[in-house]
Structure 1
């Protein structure tokens, strides 16, 4: 059993200890409470009286039909994204290609030539000598008929025909679809200039 002196020392030690911390509770200021209630009331009034059936005067005013596209010039497909994924390695982001290896698209008579012919080139590919802007290239271009849809081919050609100084009309899915049907019997790529003839022919 503790002696009286030990009890006194223990009591003195406890009295020197700091009290356990506790969180002070302060009520929300009345001004803040009134402001919050006013904002809630205004929000309820605004929602209840807003003309929800009227067209918005702000923001993006395009309709669903606008966003879906007409289906004629790429059907809303991002031609730049297709180019980045499928074409940029050879033709480069500048459209200048690689000298002596891959031909340029910038100012190319083939890109800006007959719609059906350039669509057929992308669909079926090319091997052999191809002359572009007076320079002969002997690289090979793969066929994309089995890799890209008509909409994707139309979109990427529309992109190429409007970049790097090119100003040719947009390519349409209808043209690509027709070119796909016309070249369906092909089992090998075009043999360059020999098979393609003139760009506009």
Structure 2
């Protein structure tokens, strides 16, 4: 006996309702959010890069930190600072010198007067005996003419002439330049106070000569 199948002419095919698991939905939302944020960040970064000055962009690419400060080295003109750097180790911060080895600068006729002799001493140095306030010193003062420029030497001399009770006026860089030109053929330090006196009108006293 065969089984007879009946066909429903009104039957329509359908799929079973299988809902998407919630972890899959959450993952999809997370990926979509990440994509949107990545796009916005890239757009903002590109826009900022276009607004950045070319010089800063090049420096950033080379690993250098951009700066607005000049790279040029400025020459200091502070006489006190220069004196501390080049002279105080010998003449002391108060200009008193060191015993019978280094002459004092306070009250010395060699740094007063017109200032030409003081500029000349810094330019060429001294090697030989020099009398300062009754004491003869026979040391060696360095030559600064090749180390310091006219402005720096003028600043040091001006500081010396107005410190520790000294009351002489400032000197200019032009005065220092005039001494350079006056003795442009000189290549050796002064031979003590006697040679200095032969070139400069130092206010000679019984103690400074």
* TM-score, normalised relative to structure 1: 0.60
Partners of 1:96 and 1:150 in 2: how far apart? 25
Does 2:200 match 1:200?
A: no
Deviation at 1:100, TM superposition (A): 0.4
Q: Rg larger in 1 or in 2?
A: 2
- Verify the 8 A CA contact 1:124 1:145 in the aligned structure 2: yes
Unpaired stretches in structure 2, ≥5 consecutive residues:
1-74, 205-209
Partner in structure 2 of residue 191 of structure 1: 191
Partners of 1:106 and 1:196 in 2: how far apart? 19
Partners of 2:173 and 2:164 in 1: how far apart? 23
Partner in structure 1 of residue 125 of structure 2: 125
- Verify the 8 A CA contact 2:76 2:152 in the aligned structure 1: no
* TM-score, normalised relative to structure 2: 0.58
Partner in structure 1 of residue 114 of structure 2: 114
Partners of 2:79 and 2:183 in 1: how far apart? 23
CA gap of 1:176–1:81, structure 2 versus 1, over 3 A, is same
Q: Secondary structure at the match of 1:131?
A: strand
Q: Which has the higher contact order (CA 8 A, sep 6+)?
A: 1
Partner in structure 1 of residue 173 of structure 2: 173
Q: Secondary structure at the match of 1:178?
A: helix
Deviations 1:107-141 (A, max 9, x none): 01101123211111110000110111121100110
Q: Secondary structure at the match of 2:131?
A: strand
- Verify the 8 A CA contact 2:115 2:157 in the aligned structure 1: no
Partners of 2:165 and 2:114 in 1: how far apart? 17
- Verify the 8 A CA contact 2:154 2:173 in the aligned structure 1: yes
Partners of 2:120 and 2:130 in 1: how far apart? 15
Q: Secondary structure at the match of 1:136?
A: strand
Deviation at 1:159, TM superposition (A): 0.5
Q: Secondary structure at the match of 1:90?
A: helix
